[in-house]
Amino acid sequence: MAPALVWLTALMVVPCVLVLALAFFRRGIYGGIDYTFTLENFGLVFDPLYAGIFLNSARIAGTATLIAVVIGYAAAYAISAAPRRWQPVFLFFAVLPFWSNYLIRTYAWIVLLNREGLITQLLRWFGYTGEPPSMLYTEGAVIAGLVYNYLPFVILACYAPLSRLNPELAEASRDLGASAATTFRRVILPLTVPGIAAGAVFVFVLSIGNFVTPALLGGGRFQMIGNLVYDQFLTANDWPFGAALAMALIAIMLLVLMAQALAADRATGRTAEARGQADG
């Protein structure tokens, strides 16, 4: 217990406290920090310009999360329904992208989506003779990159509850006359909410603070909050305002984690109730 507390304090609490402290000071005239107390940085976070970037980041991250959850849950469901001996093989291929560097995976999408990339060549092979479609440096490219990079998290998170699901529950539902769709909607889906919520949180939290994918696949046309924090620290040299933005981002992440914990608690209660009914 003590080593865990030391680890959390040294690597989580202390850095966050230091960043929070920076947010209460002013930017120096030539950059750096002027150690004069102020709350202006937090007020500036709610400026319509920066609030709009927060909302845009949440919209892009939310869209990526929704797509990743739909694809990831379907993949996890298919893997859990496969024969037991094949499931580790399918899981291996699901997490195989993690064996390469994040930057390499993102650059691979540039090769795919640029105007003379693999997709354009494939379209021409099928007889397309028009102008190459403009797919790179669009919001769709950013979302595709986020979904691809974080999809394995959703698959692993959803596979865990699906593989542990008691098959007798689905059989009991079908014996009572429920269709396959009703059994999935009323039995399987509610019991796997903790996995869905965990996977969604992974994708949303990692996406909303991401600055590499928007910079490479968005070409700088789409400013997300991660890019804004990066620019404040390394370009504008305004560390206090960058710290205030970072703390606002952390606050959003904490709210998302609280919502995930609440959903998991409710689903756990339903799981215990269902098991009690099945045993009865």
Which CATH number is 203's domain given? 1.10.3720.10
CB burial class (10 A; 0-12, 13-18, 19+) of residue 5?
exposed
Domain membership of residue 82 as a residue range: 36-267
Query: How many alpha carbons fall within 13 Å on the CB side of residue 120?
Result: 17
Tell me, yes or no, whether 188 lies in a domain: yes
Could you tell me if residue 28 is inside a domain?
Answer: no
pLDDT of residue 222: 76
Distance CA 26, CA 223 (A): 24
Task: Note the pTM of the prediction, 2 decimals.
Answer: 0.87
Give which of 57, 45, 12, 68 is closest to 226, Cα–Cα: 57
Note whether residue 17 is domain-resident.
Answer: no
Q: What is the mean pLDDT of each run of 10 residues along the chain (280 residues)?
A: 84 90 89 88 91 93 96 95 93 89 90 84 82 85 94 94 88 86 89 91 92 88 87 90 93 88 74 59
Sign of the CA dihedral with 95 first, then 98, 99, and 105 last: positive
Torsions phi, psi of 100, nearest 5?
Answer: -110, 160
Q: Is residue 23 domain-resident?
A: no
**Contact in structure between 189 and 182 (CB atoms under 8 Å):** no
> Is-contact 76 155, C-beta < 8 A?
yes
Check residue 276 and give its pLDDT.
61
> Would 200 be classed as within a structural domain?
yes
For the chain, the domain total comes to: 1
Q: Does residue 99 lie in a domain region? A: yes
Tell me, what DSSP letter sits at residue 227? H
In a domain, 165, yes or no: yes
252 occurs within a structural domain: yes
